[in-house]
Every structure is written in structure tokens, then in C-alpha cells.
Amino acid sequence: MAMIKVVNVVGARPNFMKMAPIIAAMRKRGGEIEQLLLHTGQHYDEAMSGSFFRDLGMGAPDINLETGSGSHAEQTARVMLAFEPVLIRRQPDWVVVVGDVNSTFACALVASKLGVKVAHVEAGLRSFDRTMPEEINRALTDRISDLLLTPSRDADENLLREGLEPRSIVRVGNVMIDTLHQQLERAKSSKILAALALEPRRYAVVTSHRPTNVDNQERLRNLFSALKEIVRHLPAVFPAHPRTQARMREFGVEPPEGVRVIDPLGYQDFLKLWSNSRMVMTDSGGLQEETTALGIPCLTLRENTERPITITQGTNHLVGSSGQRLTTVARRILNDEYTNEGRVPELWDGHAAERIIEALLNFDHGLTRRQHMVSAVSAMNAGAGVISSK
């Protein structure tokens, strides 16, 4: 089998956790895969990016496009303009993208237009909420990918309902859980609990970064109002995204006494922090999965989730933007009215990256899905007697 050339794309912190085990698995197959790590620079500062590469053992990116922030359109366009010459110069066989950030869709689109095969890790997740930019990125990336690597059965079913080819869908499990298993032991050496004077299971963790929550003054105030009730019984630590801290200053919103706002943490410190907590309150997608894997109650500050399996089989509770709902569920958790009997979903076993590599290596390297479609359309046109304008 000839060696395949792969460009692995990351753009934001959630991507790093998903890509780290894939890179490690590719290194083990060095005679079969030549890989390149490309960082678009969507998350670009040291706190949000640099420390994660070190903590996850990924090494520095081979290429950093340094595209930076901006509106969704600006960010997507910058990534596309910067990524195209890299692909033309490097000529890879595959571009591997993960998750649902702007970089994911931008790089997938450029690769697709240049005829480079695209593999989408975490394909098929759907919130069915088109007001979420991530939902648009997920759906469009799946449409133009040649290999759809799904984490769960419900993701497979979503793709089949959308009419995507069954043979392009490969269920590999949840690669985020690979990283979680690999880093748990290393995270034990973190001193974050001592630094914050915290005892295991005697505090909560809060995160919130989505624009629908933090850019909305009423929602941010509702969150802090609910936290005021919760921290009467359980103190909370809030590692706040720079965007969230900026909005707090802009709106003049102060966290209630008992909520400690700190700067973002590196992966291992943050893992040590939340995995020893009594509960997690978040609008993150990845944390819904990670808390399910470790049996930590999770209260999701969103109206919907693209990860319903974390509710049906895990420890996740959707509480939306209602402060009353948040405090009610938190109180029930503190009263042990909910049990952590959810079983870990199928294939969330720490070996998803290995299955991803096998799927790439065993892909039918004949016609891509895109070429199959062109051939099929040409055949139909010929059969229907379509007259060419040439």
C-alpha cells in the first residue's frame, strides 16, 4: 500500500483535544502515513492555544495560518484564502477536519474544490437549530466530505436521513474520549486544586463562551442570578473565556460572591478541575461528552444539544437559559435525586483514533464520492439526450 499524505487541520481549542490522539495514532503508522499539522489560528493566543499543544503532546504546528478573529464571514474567508495555496503546494491525499468551527468548514470547502479528499471527524452531529453557526458548519462539512467518521449511532442515522451515501459513513466512536483516557493519569499531577484551595466534590465548575449566552446581557445576568442561589450551597469556579470576560466588563456584570472567575486553564489543569467537581455547568459541546464518560453531572446552558446521547445514556441535563431551571436541577443533584447510572455509549472506549486511521487507509482510493456524482450526472444527461452548449 502506497503512503498517503494527510493534512490535519485544527483551528480552536475543541479541535486540539480531538486531533491529538489522531496525530499520535498516525505517528505509530509512520510508514503508511505522512502527516502535517496545520493550525488556522482561529484561537491564537497563548492561553487559548499554545498551552494546549504542549499539554496534549502534539508539538508545534507545522504551519500556522494566523488568521485571527473576526465575524463568521471574515474568519471563514481568511482561512480559505490562506489555506488554498498551502494545499496547492503540498498536494495531500487527504485533509482531515474535526468538529464544527469555522476553520472546519472553510478548509473542507477549499479541499473539496481542489479535488482533495476530505475526512470529517465527528460527522453527523445535529442540534437541528439553524440559528447556531456550528450547525451550519456541521451540515455543510458533511455534505462535501468523502469520509464521514461518526461518534455514535444517532449521528449515522442523521446522515442517512439526509441522503448521504452509506458507504461513506464509518462509525469510529468518540475521539474526545481517547484524549480523556490518555490524559487522566497525567492530570493527577496538576496542582490546580491546591492553588485554588479546593477539595474534591465540594465545588462546581462553570464555563460559558457561546455568543448566544455571553453576548446577551439578560442571559448573562440570569446565569449569575442563578449561580447566586447555587453557591449558597456549593462554591463555583469559572474559568472564563476572554470573550466572556470582555462582555462582563462591557455589561458591568459582576459574579456573585462564591463564584471565583479565573483565566482559562491548560488542558491538564482544566481536566483536573472539572473531573473532581460535584457538577459542571457549561454551554460547551465537548464537556457534555467528557462528563458523561466520567459520570460527572453536567447542566448544559443551551436550549438544545447536538449530542443527545449524553442525555439518553449519560449524565447531561439541558437547562436552557432559564435560571429557575438551572437552580432546580442543581438542587436535585445536590440532594442526590439524580443517580449517575448512565452507561458509557458504544465505542467511547479510547480507541476511536485507531479506527479513524484504519478508515483512512482502507478507503476506496478509486473514484471519490464527488467523482461518482459527476459520472452519474453525466450518464443521466447522456441518457436523457441533453444538448451541450459547446
Please give the positions annotated as active site: 209
| Cα distances (angstroms) measured from residue 189 to each of 151, 276, 294 | 30, 13, 18
Hey, is 178 helix, strand or coil? Answer: helix
Instruction: Write down the residue that cell numbers 507545522 correspond to.
Output: 62
* Backbone torsions φ then ψ of 44, nearest 5 degrees: -125, -10
Pair 125, 134: CB distance under 8 Å: no
Hey, is 300 helix, strand or coil? Answer: strand
Instruction: Provide the terminal-to-terminal Cα distance of the chain, rounded to the nearest Å.
Output: 41
Q: What is the rounded distance in angstroms from the CA atom of residue 5 to the CA atom of residue 24? A: 15
Grid cell for residue 97: 477536519
Element (H, E) at 186: helix 175-187
Phi-psi region of 198 (alpha: psi -120 to 50; beta: other; left: phi over 0): beta
Q: What is the rounded distance in angstroms from the CA atom of residue 240 to the CA atom of residue 177? A: 23
Torsion of CA 40, 42, 46, 52, to 10 degrees: -70
Q: What is the rounded distance in angstroms from the CA atom of residue 281 to the CA atom of residue 298? A: 6
* Backbone torsions φ then ψ of 138, nearest 5 degrees: -60, -50
Count of other CB atoms within 10 angstroms of residue 377? 11
Count of other CB atoms within 10 angstroms of residue 358? 14
Buried b (16+ CB within 10 A) or exposed e, 81-113: ebbbebbeeeebbbbbbbbbbbbbbbbbbbbbe
